[in-house]
Structure 1
Amino acid sequence: MRTPPSDRTNRTAPRGRWHRVGSAAAATIALLFAGFGTAAHANAAASPTSPNVTWTRACAVPGKADEMACKALRVTGGLTAFQKARAEKDGIAPKAANAATPSGYGPGDLQSAYGLTSAAASNGSGETIAIVDAYNDPNAEADLATYRSYYGLPACTTANGCFKKVSQTGSSTSLPSSNTGWAEEISLDLDMASAICPNCNILLVEARSATMANLGTAVNEAVALGAKYVSNSYGGSESSADSSYDSSYFKHPGVAITVSAGDSGYGAEYPAASQYVTAVGGTALSRSSTSRGWTETVWKTSSTEGTGSGCSAYDTKPSWQTDTGCSKRTISDVAAVADPATGVSVYDSYGITAGWYTFGGTSASSPIIAGVYALAGTPSSGSYPAKFPYNAAGTSALNDVTSGNNGSCTTTYLCTAQSGYDGPTGWGTPEGVTAFTG
């Protein structure tokens, strides 16, 4: 796999915090910041990794109790950590949105950060990752082709059998209505699955709407079509119906189902609270001078924005989860990058100006972990892959995240990172695929 320009730049950028750049670059950056005063989310002052980054949510807050919202966060202004390093090295200040070239982490960066470079090159052939989202993205295949071509990943198209898009009923012709916000989510999910497992096939299953019933039906369809790895980058409020949703939509032994933990800070969401899924929290990912070359903290931007975690009010605690702070299911199990200030590159063209964007949110971390499961190989029949990281708990197969928090809580580990298990990041982030095998 060739090394694209953005990955080369990021790998050679100086590590650690951003130092002072030359006067010309500084002037350019100052002008860039000046144009971002009215972004949809004024989170600038709270981001520890990149204090001038602003972003907007791709999907609206659900209007009904049974509706889900996607968890994609699109950067609209400021400089991400990636761009800061690039500005220092090259003396330029790349755009944060609609750029001609990527402005976030690419496949090489993510594979390096999570010890997956070797596995991504050789594993995944014949495996299918399913992406479940609501509504239709008419440009999904074309946008995916642009992303994969830029990064030198193998083509994944309908024609060569790698890519397939269907509705929740399995139809490839009768698709849902299109939706611009969910199309951004779809682009993010497809690109992250590609970044982690370039040799995997991708199945996109589009639900008729964002209700749990329709999204759950789409999950069932993904499994029926043979996917052993199913990513779900959406969530909503818990309800007393969740136990029935569990048995109807998420109880699929032998299938790794990943779900975003949420983007609203401390607090439980469904379906991340399902006992049958791997709940995926979010981190801020930055380069460092450590032997790993990377460092991570809990993603938190403000008291209301950061990775989700906490105790389910309704869902049964799985037998392999033994922490004592929650009598029912505890969120999360594992984590991956989600902070928009250390976001990932995505190509999208539907409903917004076609180009490269930087995205964050636990929408990024869920398909990343689904891709890691796919690299690890087909789960054994009858197993629940959510258990696998618990088997490797405390080993070098996971990067233990020990700093940061996502809010306030009475039981400290549920909202604050610590050695070993904690709510915001679970047992940690991947270091290779060992923790994700049966």
Structure 2
Amino acid sequence: MRCYGRARSSLFRREGSMNTSISARALKSVGLSALSLLILPVAAYASTAMPAPATLDIAPNIIVASIAGHAKGQPPSSSDCIAAITFACYSPSDMANQYDFMPEYAAHHDGAGQTIVIFDSFGSPTIRQDLATFDSAYGLPAPPSFMIYQPEGNVVLNYDNLPSPVGIHNKNISNELGWAYETTLDVEWAHAMAPGANIALVVVPVAETQGVQGLQNIENAEAWALAHHIGNIWSNSFGTAEQAFHTPTTIRNLNELYHAAAQQGVSVFVASGDFGVANPDKQGRLFPFPTVPFPTSSPDVISVGGTEIPIPQPALTTYNPETVWSEFGFLGTGGGYSTVFGEPGYQVSAAIPDASSARGLPDVAYNSAVVGLFIIYESFDPRFNPDWVEVAGTSAAAPQWAAIDAIANQADGPLGFLNPRLYQIYTNGSYGAAFHDITVGDNSASGITGYSAAVGWDPATGLGTPDVHQLVVALSATSP
């Protein structure tokens, strides 16, 4: 997920071989103001470096690591990753087994007839060929339609046509590269889990900065997509702490778009954040109390939190128990209670634990942890050769939940804004089958005490993670 703010850390590289559990070609920060992704390209060097909290108080560094022992041009196996860096790296089939997608695929429910709309700054100049490479490696079909829109004006990239390899980039180039990684993750994994769905990528030529610059461009693009009926399933991976905005009224005004979208039957899936309850102000200083970002705090979106599969697995063949995502003392799932929005009716009806009568989040969760990374393919970064890359964060969770919604809409008919139906499931007998209730862990981070998982809904993992097949069955019995 991208957080608005200014990143202070700079790019650096460490090369060579060392006796360590981390195998990395480089540890680099892309310097963007928003990226909550850990990115590990597959190559051949090693480094002891891990991001230090001091460089990650605003946005996490992007870690570029090497995974040796896999066939050139092919994605590494999870066993390759475990051997090289001790962390697993999971494929689309692993996630399909973990979350029970397979019965839906067998019923030919793959998102056909639906459109997933992804919103990003800048996009990626190589996304079409990178998606084709990703699909070929994993035996996926091309999406029926893949459209790219630029309603706020043409994107001009500062790193296009730079010599390769290149050295340290300026802030603008680093920011653009970070968004290219985000775009690649969003597109490849939304498509991976709903391969029959259409993909629409909507990009703007400006990056967000603490809700002051760029957010209005994104919202303009979203308003354009809503007016032009581009699709009714949206995926967003950006946000900033509610307290970083000028006033609560500013947030409420911005939320009018999401309220209008929900009223028109659009489900907007938004990553809940990757720093637990610790979020920065405009100067990059952490608020000394638990905070949640907007727009994931909106009652008109589906907030998607993160979990972890604690023991890295060579392959996932069935469901593996999960805990709240919380790693390294500063990374973890966003979650908590809004200071701007009151508790929405669907949460009131479900009687979620909420002493403050505020909007609680996240609504749902999905694997997001470094211990269980996702693999993407990229060829846009001029600093490195085209290769397979590993990423983590709730940025990976939101597009995959959008894919689940595409499958459910195909199977059950138009479902509209999904949250009321999800909380109906929580109150009936199908909850235990449709969701994996996460009851272990908390989202404390950077010395700020967070929220613990508990039986039922909680402000760390929401309703839990999906059993996709059982969720589709349960949704068929709900009403708007």
Shift of 1:418: 1.2
Equivalent of 1:256, from 267, 274, 281? 267
Q: Which residue identity does 2:443 align to in structure 1?
A: N
1:228-307 matches, within 5 Å, as: 228-238=232-242, 239=245, 240=248, 241-252=250-261, 253=263, 254-266=265-277, 267-285=291-309, 292-307=318-333
Root mean square deviation, CA, Å: 3.7
Q: Is the 8 A contact 1:33 1:78 kept in 2?
A: no
Shift of 1:327: 2.2
Q: Is the 8 A contact 2:23 2:84 kept in 1?
A: no
Report the counterpart of residue 461 of structure 2 in structure 1. 425
Report the counterpart of residue 118 of structure 1 in structure 2. 103
| Corresponding residue SS for 2:377 | strand
User: Relative to structure 1, is the Cα distance of residues 372 and 300 closer, same or farther in structure 2, using a 3 angstrom cutoff?
Assistant: same
Equivalent of 2:203, from 203, 206, 215? 206
Q: Is the 8 A contact 1:339 1:361 kept in 2?
A: yes
Q: Is the 8 A contact 1:75 1:340 kept in 2?
A: no
Q: Which residue identity does 1:257 align to in structure 2?
A: V
Q: Is the 8 A contact 1:111 1:120 kept in 2?
A: no
Q: Is the 8 A contact 1:216 1:249 kept in 2?
A: no
Shift of 1:219: 2.1
| Corresponding residue SS for 2:306 | strand
| Corresponding residue SS for 1:93 | helix
TM value normalised by structure 1: 0.75
Shift of 1:226: 2.7
> CA deviation digits over 1:317-345, x for unaligned, max 9?
21111332332211100000111221111
Shift of 1:31: 4.3
- 2:429 equivalent to 1:392: no
> CA deviation digits over 1:196-255, x for unaligned, max 9?
101111000002322221111222233334311100011112132111111134531311
Report the counterpart of residue 373 of structure 1 in structure 2. 405
Q: Is the 8 A contact 2:437 2:465 kept in 1?
A: yes
Task: State the alpha-carbon separation in 2 of the partners of residues 145 and 235 from structure 1.
Answer: 29
Report the counterpart of residue 326 of structure 1 in structure 2. 356
Task: State the alpha-carbon separation in 1 of the partners of residues 229 and 337 from structure 2.
Answer: 33
Report the counterpart of residue 137 of structure 2 in structure 1. 150
| Corresponding residue SS for 2:131 | helix
User: Relative to structure 1, is the Cα distance of residues 35 and 113 closer, same or farther in structure 2, using a 3 angstrom cutoff?
Assistant: closer
> CA deviation digits over 1:242-287, x for unaligned, max 9?
1111113453131111000001112300110011000000011257
Task: State the alpha-carbon separation in 2 of the partners of residues 204 and 374 from structure 1.
Answer: 16
Q: Which residue identity does 1:360 align to in structure 2?
A: A
Q: Is the 8 A contact 1:83 1:94 kept in 2?
A: no
Task: State the alpha-carbon separation in 1 of the partners of residues 296 and 434 from structure 2.
Answer: 23
Task: State the alpha-carbon separation in 2 of the partners of residues 120 and 61 from structure 1.
Answer: 41
Task: State the alpha-carbon separation in 1 of the partners of residues 141 and 64 from structure 2.
Answer: 27
> CA deviation digits over 1:7-44, x for unaligned, max 9?
xxxxxxxxxxxxxxxxxxxxxx9646476598358xxx
Gaps of 5+ in 1: 1-28, 42-51, 63-68, 98-102
Q: Is the 8 A contact 2:118 2:235 kept in 1?
A: yes
Report the counterpart of residue 21 of structure 1 in structure 2. none
Report the counterpart of residue 39 of structure 1 in structure 2. 27
Shift of 1:428: 0.5
Q: Is the 8 A contact 2:373 2:391 kept in 1?
A: yes
Shift of 1:435: 3.5
User: Relative to structure 1, is the Cα distance of residues 31 and 384 closer, same or farther in structure 2, using a 3 angstrom cutoff?
Assistant: same
Equivalent of 1:106, from 64, 73, 91? 91
Q: Which residue identity does 1:76 align to in structure 2?
A: A
Task: State the alpha-carbon separation in 2 of the partners of residues 130 and 56 from structure 1.
Answer: 35
Shift of 1:387: 2.2
Q: Is the 8 A contact 1:197 1:372 kept in 2?
A: yes
Report the counterpart of residue 313 of structure 1 in structure 2. 339
Shift of 1:126: 1.4
Task: State the alpha-carbon separation in 2 of the partners of residues 416 and 386 from structure 1.
Answer: 22
| Corresponding residue SS for 1:406 | coil
The count of residues paired between Structure 1 and Structure 2 equals 374
Task: State the alpha-carbon separation in 2 of the partners of residues 142 and 290 from structure 1.
Answer: 28
Q: Is the 8 A contact 1:259 1:271 kept in 2?
A: yes
Q: Is the 8 A contact 2:259 2:300 kept in 1?
A: yes
Q: Is the 8 A contact 1:284 1:296 kept in 2?
A: yes
Task: State the alpha-carbon separation in 1 of the partners of residues 49 and 97 from structure 2.
Answer: 24
Q: Is the 8 A contact 2:26 2:64 kept in 1?
A: no
Shift of 1:381: 6.8
Task: State the alpha-carbon separation in 2 of the partners of residues 349 and 95 from structure 1.
Answer: 23
Shift of 1:54: 4.2
Q: Which residue identity does 1:318 align to in structure 2?
A: P
Report the counterpart of residue 79 of structure 2 in structure 1. 86
Q: Which residue identity does 2:294 align to in structure 1?
A: Y
| Corresponding residue SS for 2:201 | strand
Q: Identity percentage over the alignment?
A: 28
